[in-house]
Chain A
């Protein structure tokens, strides 16, 4: 079974609007972490935001926020006020056993290509 599922191969959004990128995950660990990375056409993976499984509040970093619904095992990325530079591939990733007893391997989803239109 897929540990990380991103069901949207591609998304389109108008500049200055908000967009939500979906991510669901599968784990039996109680302690885990969820990450979102951005990969522009240049290829480098850029860290955006992190959510720990025990964090009570949704993570926010500037225009990025993470809509964490633990019972549904979803960790959707919300980008507010989209900019042309947001056009890229976005990956959701999970680190299981994030309590610190493992060495922290990340498992990535398939990614979602976001295109921002002017």
Chain B
């Protein structure tokens, strides 16, 4: 079974530019998550989708970040305009159900973003 796919793996941009990341979850997984992991820290949830609806975006900086999950499958996370502090690894994860209880989240390899 294929795992969570993400692209690109690396991205370097200048501040104020825009960037987009793509995630394809494990086939059939209902819930998709985007995390931001700043160097030296644990991942922080940015947004959680169940199918194509948002269930938690409380920590998403909505003035510059946006995300969508059309048709309840793959997802795109966008930053516009980027700031220096957005330099981080962006991890996508998916889980089979709605993410409760003992349900495991499976992570992709991440996209490393460097904003200059």
Using a CB–CB cutoff of 8 Å, the interface residues on chain A facing chain B are 4, 33, 35, 37, 42-47, 50, 52, 91, 93, 95, 97-106, 108-111
Contacts and interface: CB of A to CB of B under 8 A. Distances in A.
B42 A109 contact: yes
Given A45-B91, A110-B40, A102 B100 contact: yes
B110 A103 contact: no
B32 to A, nearest CB: 12
Nearest to B99: A104
Interface residues of B, number: 29
A33 B42 contact: no
A34 to B, nearest CB: 10
A24 to B, nearest CB: 14
Interface in B46-78: 48, 50, 55-56
A108 B44 contact: yes
Contacts of B40: 110-111
Contacts of A35: 104
A103 B99 contact: yes
A52 B102 contact: yes
Sorted nearest first, the 7 A-B pairs with minimum C-beta distance are: A108-B42, A104-B99, A45-B107, A104-B100, A43-B110, A100-B100, A103-B55
Given A4-B42, A111-B42, A103 B100 contact: yes
25 contacts: A33-B102, A37-B107, A43-B91, A43-B109, A43-B110, A44-B110, A45-B43, A45-B91, A47-B105, A50-B102, A95-B101, A98-B100, A98-B101, A99-B100, A99-B101, A100-B101, A103-B31, A103-B50, A103-B98, A103-B99, A104-B31, A104-B101, A106-B105, A111-B40, A111-B42
